[in-house]
Amino acid sequence: MKLGVLTGGGDCPGLNAVIRAVVKKAINDYDMSVIGFRDGYEGMILNNYITLDRKSVSGILSLGGTILGTSNRADPFNFPIMQKEEYIYLDRSSELVTNYERLGLDAIIAIGGDGTMAASARVAELGVNIVGVPKTIDNDLFGTDQTFGFDSAVVTATDAIDKIHTTAQSHHRVMIVEVMGRYAGWLAMASGLAGGGDIILIPEIPYDIDEVCNKIKERNRRGKNFSIVVIGEGAKPLGGKMVVSKIVENSPDVIRLGGISNQLAQQIEVLTHLECRVTILGHLVRGGSPTPFDRLLGTYFGCEAVRLASEKRYGRLVVLKGSDIDSIPLVDVAGKIRKVPFDSQMIQSALSLGISLGVATDQISMLMKETEKAEAVATE
């Protein structure tokens, strides 16, 4: 058999661990050959690839990023082309299929997040054999308990919050740390809990600015003359909207979030008369060496993906269920986002510790009931 492997979407620690596992298991256990497409699906469309062997994946386990490169704009069905100083969008999926057949490939292992999996599900409908591997620092991919890259991002964000703590204490300030996560609050919740945040604001729970300020004032009354606020980039106030930093028109997901922390800081200073400082971690949490957990998870995922391909079990996504590696149909994942449940251990633990989530506890219960009702209606 001959396999192709690609990495799509945003980069994260652990991608190279998956590539390494795919290549080594394919060669050692099945005597397969493997090629790697550069820059995600763009490489398949442009026929831009490299041969992957034991030597090419030697020493990459601890490296962040991806040796294959990646792209979050290479949608085969809506591929951007610059013409006369503006982008036009073309369906180039047929070129992808042609190159797949010319190269004599038996299957593609696509490593990526929700955008890559949505594209992969459509590519599979064209007759391309695909096995998906879930990747994202946001941990928002539907169907898996965790994606690789998330643990590494939590470690980086927590380390930053730890460092922010010391300067917050020294200067008696409100320090706001903004992390990535898009429309889900997994990264903000995990790093906020691990870093000892006093207030954690996530997209799933629109915050009440008065509740946020009340928490800060309460801490001051108890002699705590500083506060740490951890906020996800997709968080928004009650009745308000997410803050969009820019629009990238030649991207499948045109919206780029970011900057909500600056808006929050201005409001807190006006309402509390306390000085605020903002730190936006941004792409810092995407970089660096993967944690041992992500190296292991990426390795398990890569090995399982090759096993599925060897058994011709295509159109599936490798997932983590509890402590077990499993797989689910790829079509079950496309177009869905996994958000933090209101009854999750994270949220319940935060409330028990006295951490403010930006709203009164009874409001969280109400939001939970409304969400359950909406989900029940959607299921019907």
Active site residues: 138
CA–CA gap between residue 116 and residue 108 (Å, rounded) = 12
Contact 114, 144 (CB under 8 A): no
- Of 119, 131, 130, 49, give the one whose Cα is nearest residue 91: 119
CA–CA gap between residue 131 and residue 142 (Å, rounded) = 16
Q: How far is CA 207 from CA 116, 188, 201, 264, 360, in A?
A: 31, 14, 7, 10, 9
Other beta carbons less than 10 A from residue 86's beta carbon? 9
What b/e readout covers 91-111, taking b as 16+ CB neighbours within 10 angstroms?
ebbebbbebbeeeebbbbbbb
Residue 101 neighbours by CB under 8 Å, 6+ apart: none
Secondary structure (3-state) at 378: helix
CA–CA gap between residue 233 and residue 243 (Å, rounded) = 8
Backbone angles phi, psi at 354, to 5 degrees: 85, 15
- For strands 244-247 and 255-257, give the pairing: antiparallel
